[in-house]
Each structure stands twice: as C-alpha cells, then as structure tokens.
C-alpha cells in the first residue's frame, strides 16, 4: 500500500487532500507504478521552490513542480513532490483556469514524471500533454 502524505505550507489556494490522493492512486494503478511506498507532496511558495530548484537543478528561478523519485524502480515508490501555489495562481490567470486545477495538473505532471514520462523532446512533450489531459478529464 502506498502512503500519501500531503503538507499544505501555503495559504493562497485551498488544497483538497482527498482529490490529490485520488489523483496519485489513479496514476499509480494506471501507469503500473509500484503499489507500495510513500509519496510526500508539499504545496509551497515560489521562494521555497526557487531554493529547491537552485539547489537540485542549478536553476535560480521558481518553477511549477519538482518531483524526486527516491525508491528502487519497480520495487517501491518513494517520492517527494513540491508544488508552487504562487506559480499555479499566476498560470491560472495566464491560461484562464482555476488555481486548483493548475495545482492538480502539477500533481499529475509530477506523477507522470515518476512513471517515466519526459518533457524535454517534442515527442515526449506531446505524450506528456496527452496523458495530462486524459487525467484532467477523468478528474
């Protein structure tokens, strides 16, 4: 069984923990991720995610989501996911969506990365976007 721990360390956007857990469990089952382990999800500010992005990726800028797979692939799913509420708020205005929808999209995006999907080459981006839309429609 996968344990899902959610920490809401921001106050700008309400987080529906049950929806977040539902997304994570759906992707675990549909993308054949290991069914045991622990997924930690923290909803944080731009300043916090910027520090993490700088430390782990050498990019001194905020980003929407960071996902770190820490387990042994195919044996256990151990992951830390960080999501910027500030970026979700900004992007919701740009893309004319709700801030909550943006944050759910970032959860989906992170879980797809942990499932092996990439987003650096055009073909990979197309696959990733297709999967994101599939899960958003389901939600």
> Residue 114: its pLDDT value, please?
93
**Token pair 């939600």 is at which residue?**
139
Q: CATH number for the domain including 61?
A: 3.40.390.30
The H or E element containing residue 105 is: helix 99-114
* Range of the structural domain that residue 125 is part of: 2-138
- Average the pLDDT over 106-132 and give the result: 93
Split into its structural domains, the chain has a count of: 1
DSSP letter (8 states) at residue 19:
H
- Give tens-digit pLDDT for 45-95: 999 999 999 999 999 999 999 999 998 777 899 999 999 999 999 999 999
Cα atoms found within 13 Å of the Cα of residue 17, Cβ hemisphere only:
10
CB-CB contact of 74 with 65 (8 Å): no
Average pLDDT score over residue span 108-129: 92
Q: What is the mean pLDDT of the chain?
A: 94
Alpha-carbon gap, residue 23 to 109, rounded angstroms: 11
């Amino acid at each position: 069984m996968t344990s899902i721990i959610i920490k809401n360390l921001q106050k700008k956007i309400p987080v529906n923990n049950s929806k977040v857990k539902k997304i994570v469990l759906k992707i675990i089952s549909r993308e054949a991720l290991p069914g045991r382990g622990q997924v930690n999800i923290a909803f944080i500010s731009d300043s916090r995610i910027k520090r993490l992005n700088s430390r782990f990726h050498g990019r001194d800028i905020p980003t929407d989501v960071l996902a770190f797979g820490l387990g042994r692939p195919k044996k256990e799913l151990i992951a830390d996911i960080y999501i910027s509420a500030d970026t979700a708020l900004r992007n919701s205005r740009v893309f004319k969506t709700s801030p909550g929808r943006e944050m759910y999209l970032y959860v989906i995006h992170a879980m797809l990365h942990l499932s092996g999907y990439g987003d650096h080459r055009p073909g990979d981006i197309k696959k990733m976007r297709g999967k994101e839309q599939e899960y958003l429609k389901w939600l």
